[in-house]
Structure 1
């Protein structure tokens, strides 16, 4: 039986407050889950619990500007700053964690282990992200995040309708209370639970690294050259990491393991949490023994 998540806070880079949850033995090696842009630490569903049940310590974080973590007072949303926040969290964890990063969290993992602090991680899992992502898919995600960002929603039902329209392959959310973790309520309306400056182009320091394909490829090369195990988990219906993009990534880095999750789009953990958790646990068992 997995214990309930234990919330904690850490001062990130520059003192920004980072909020996270810990599940499992605090002395066990950690698997650190890093969510995508516009998501929160609640995005991982049962995956964190499944990892903790195998004897790992599962840690989920809200990035700066997301969820319950502080918004950046100076508009610093560079991927490098997300990575430095994570490094501050890792100071309080056992050495050599596994980094599991979805989308923005994947870029953060690449930059952390491949450029800022090589040798930090024992393994890296990229969840539906590669450096050379499909730009039409990226634009679709950006448009979804931008739409209604300022105007908000009248009700949780309205939020559920929009999510279902964006993800038609996924059943419409029935647990409307479960949506609250991704929203904030102000003046009678619901708003996405992230700093608008992160997505609307007005932040002083935006995450431009996500467009630096050569830099990110170099980071991945550093990781695989060091012998750090890496896994790419793709959603078969993803329009961000098409099969062609995934094949090109694996051809470039044949050392990387690859799992294609059926019935899942870009939000792999949310679409097929069971298959995603199984893929991560199996990879950890083969390549990152505790």
Structure 2
């Protein structure tokens, strides 16, 4: 598919959620899940390249892109998993491979553990790590974590998103976060990741509340149990410059292979698109 994808919507928990469809209804499906503060059009270069073999479906997670914002600031991994299940149901899918980046990988991994038959292959882009800080976070009393969560949600609700005078200015801000972004890609990400307000200024589309970490989730041991229930083969693609983060260790999987991509950071698919595309193509084509 050489043109732009088709925008569509589906319903989940009273939210209208957006996804783009790279056509090819006669082709097998492939799901792409973006990370936090991102959007579905971030996948465009990879999606376009894979649309010759797959019907590529890339949703905007709730609170991101052109999807609705949760009225109760409910952005737990479980909520996103429910949304992914609703997407499968809306599309009539029984199973599909999933490629996911960062937070999207947490969602995909949880989904694959709960519904093993629904995921045929799983590619995790800089997403399959645990951090030593987890134990320290869980050592904080639960009541303190919940109260702190309430305070952060209140602040997020009162916050005024930073305005940008142009797409170029927003793109430049993205390049501060990831200096390896080309001018064209940064502009593309900024164009689809921001919207124009009535005052003529652009602001990011994501809900600030989506950045607040949920205070209560399943335990690390329960996450490991679900991880080991994943039936799909797993490919882990980590950026070499991201692997050295203090306290970071790869997760254990029953059937996984791992590639450390040279000269790539957290945004491994943007930093080394050719290497990621080649690895994903080979992995999805393998018996």
Please tell me the TM-score bracket, short chain as reference.
0.7 to 0.9
Q: Name 1:25's counterpart in structure 2.
A: 24
Q: TM-score, normalised by structure 2?
A: 0.81
* Map of 1:221 onto structure 2: 228
Indicate the SS of the match to 1:8: strand
Contact preservation (8 Å) 1:64, 1:82: yes
Q: What's 2:175 paired with? A: 164
Aligned residues between the structures: 262
Q: Secondary structure at the match of 1:45?
A: helix
Aligned-residue CA RMSD (Å): 2.8
Post-superposition Cα deviations, 1:261-289, rounded to whole Å, max 9, x if no partner, equal 222211112222222111111100114xx
3-state SS, counterpart of residue 132 of structure 1 = strand
For 1:5 and 1:151, how far apart are their aligned partners in 2? 29
Flag the 1:66–1:240 CA change in 2: closer, same or farther, 3 A. farther
Q: C-alpha offsets along residues 28-77 of structure 1, whole Å, 9 cap, x if unaligned? A: 32110000000000111321122221x22111110110001111122211
Q: Structure 1 residues 279 and 11 mapped into 2: Cα distance closer, same or farther (>3 Å)?
A: same
Specify the alignment match of 2:110 in structure 1.
111
TM-score, with length taken from structure 1: 0.80
Corresponding position of 1:64: 62
Q: Matched residues in 2 for 1:37 and 1:96: separation?
A: 24
SS in 1 for 2:259: strand
What CA distance in whole angstroms lies between the structure 2 residues aligned with 1:112 and 1:149?
Answer: 33
Matches within 5 A, 1:127-166: 127-133=125-131, 150-166=161-177
Q: How far does residue 217 in structure 1 lie from its aligned partner after superposition?
A: 2.3
What's the secondary structure of 2:266's corresponding residue? coil
Structure 1 unaligned runs (5+)? 137-145
Name 1:49's counterpart in structure 2.
48
Q: Is the 8 A contact 2:34 2:101 kept in 1?
A: yes
- Quick check: 1:66–1:193 contact (8 Å CA) kept in 2? yes
Residue of structure 2 in register with 1:141 after alignment: none
**More displaced, 234-243 or 86-95?**
234-243
- Residue segments in structure 2 that go unaligned for 5+ positions in a row: 135-155
Q: 1:78-117 to 2 correspondence within 5 Å?
A: 78-91=76-89, 92-115=91-114, 117=115
